[in-house]
Amino acid sequence: MSLDSPLNSLGFAKSPAQTRVVVAMSGGVDSSVVAAKLAEEGYDVVGVTLQLYDHGAALAKKGACCAGRDIHDARRVAEDMGFPHYVLDYENTFREAVMDEFADSYLGGATPVPCIRCNERVKFKDLLETAKDLDADCMATGHYIQRMMGAEGAELHSAADPSKDQSYFLFSTTQEQLDYLRFPLGHHASKEETRALAAKYGLSVADKPDSQDICFVPNGDYAAVIEKLRPGAAEPGDIVDTDGNVLGTHKGVIHYTIGQRRGLGIGGLADPLYVVRLDVDAKQVIVGPKDLLATRRVPIREINWIGGGNLMDMGERQIAVRVRSTRPPTDAVLRPISETEAEVELLVAEQGVSPGQACVFYDPDSTRVLGGGWIWRGA
């Protein structure tokens, strides 16, 4: 096919039949629709599902993206739509690259986001390389985020539906990965459009509920998982105020997060208290009034910059940032320290900014994702 041929829907100057695309299939409705849609359009689709933790233990767990039932659902979609499907055992890789850091971060008093590390270290690294080994032209996922072509190449943009936007979890996508990835659902105005397509294709997962939990914490009990990964981690200690006065006891700092108010077991006080700091070494949960949670200066490291140019060359600049996945972007100033470290100054103080969370950078004048980094305590 000549170079003058029009681009297909995935951006290649050849027919869909000549374009191989690996679809990362979690077994949920989103990735299933991506695979079915591309198959219907005539692409050479190959479905791949990752087994990320013990398959036998996973079978009885609901609401998690990588459970055994989900592997079965992905395989069934592939059979119904007539394309090959493979299951890859990434259990050891996932344990080392994601679960171990999750446990160690919590033990260090941080609040980790393992879904970001999974995208960064497993799906967009090892799985992407597998896609290339299969001679795929690109890899597609069911993430709600948009890939747009700009003056300097592929750009990452927030999803058209703000309520489904997953840009916070994909900030660490590199430019090289972005050039290879495709996100066919990012332009959808709502999840209802995706479910309508699932019904149109007759997919068995059309009415499957969205997963709500971290895949290896299907019941939301982080502490139980950490105790299993790190036996003896839940050591008791004191709950103290900012002056060091003992107000109560706890069963382990892993049961608490910055900003937590409920479940402290120290009622009867005139004003509500919140967890403002975790001191792992001293086994202390430090509590204080809500105003102590307010933060304007946020130290960032492990920065991934995909905003064009060189981070250090542009110096201080106005951006928008999200310091938690559940919060909208807020105005800030980015002050680079090195290619991988910076300070972010929030124009309006945010409460509950926690080490271990991501700080994601956005263009304040568009939907473009500029990258981001990890919040830490600073030097």
The CATH number covering residue 344 comes to 2.40.30.10
- Tell me: is residue 26 an annotated ligand-binding position: yes
Kindly state whether residues 33 and 144 are assigned to the same domain. yes
Among residues 65, 115, 215, 359, which one is catalytic? 215
118 is catalytic: yes
- Tell me: is residue 50 an annotated ligand-binding position: yes
- Tell me: is residue 109 an annotated ligand-binding position: no
Banded pLDDT at 4 (limits 50, 70, 90): low
> What mean pLDDT is predicted for residues 289-302?
93
- Tell me: is residue 172 an annotated ligand-binding position: no
- Tell me: is residue 369 an annotated ligand-binding position: no
Predicted pLDDT at 217: 82
CA distance 333 to 337: 13
Residue 218 located in a structural domain: no
Predicted pLDDT at 3: 54
- Pick the more confident residue, 214 or 17: 17
**Cα angle: 238, vertex 242, 244; to 5 degrees:** 50
Residue 144 located in a structural domain: yes
For 148-180, write each residue's pLDDT tens digit.
999 889 999 999 999 999 999 999 999 999 999
Predicted pLDDT at 57: 46
Cβ–Cβ < 8 Å for 120, 109: no
- Tell me: is residue 25 an annotated ligand-binding position: yes
115 is catalytic: no
For 195-253, write each residue's pLDDT tens digit.
999 999 999 998 888 876 788 887 777 888 888 888 877 889 999 999 999 999 998 88
Kindly state whether residues 116 and 60 are assigned to the same domain. yes
- Tell me: is residue 323 an annotated ligand-binding position: no
Cβ–Cβ < 8 Å for 278, 289: no
For 243-279, write each residue's pLDDT tens digit.
999 999 998 888 888 888 888 888 767 788 999 888 8
Q: Is the pLDDT of residue 67 over 60?
A: no
Residue 190 located in a structural domain: yes
Q: Whole-prediction pTM value?
A: 0.89
Kindly state whether residues 269 and 160 are assigned to the same domain. no
Among residues 65, 118, 138, 359, which one is catalytic? 118
Predicted pLDDT at 54: 62
Q: How many domains would you assign to the chain? A: 3
Q: Which amino acid makes up residue 83?
A: F
Instruction: Report the percentage of the chain scoring pLDDT > 90.
Output: 65
Q: Find the domain containing 258 and state its range.
A: 234-288
Q: What is the mean pLDDT of the chain?
A: 90
Kindly state whether residues 284 and 309 are assigned to the same domain. no
> In 3D, which of 70, 27, 52, 60 has the Cα closest to residue 219?
60
Residues β-bridged to residue 333: 318, 345
Q: Is the pLDDT of residue 72 over 70?
A: yes
The CATH number covering residue 247 comes to 2.30.30.280
Kindly state whether residues 302 and 268 are assigned to the same domain. no
Residue 220 located in a structural domain: no
Residues β-bridged to residue 86: 48
- Tell me: is residue 9 an annotated ligand-binding position: no
For 314-353, write each residue's pLDDT tens digit.
889 999 999 988 888 999 999 999 999 999 999 999 987 8
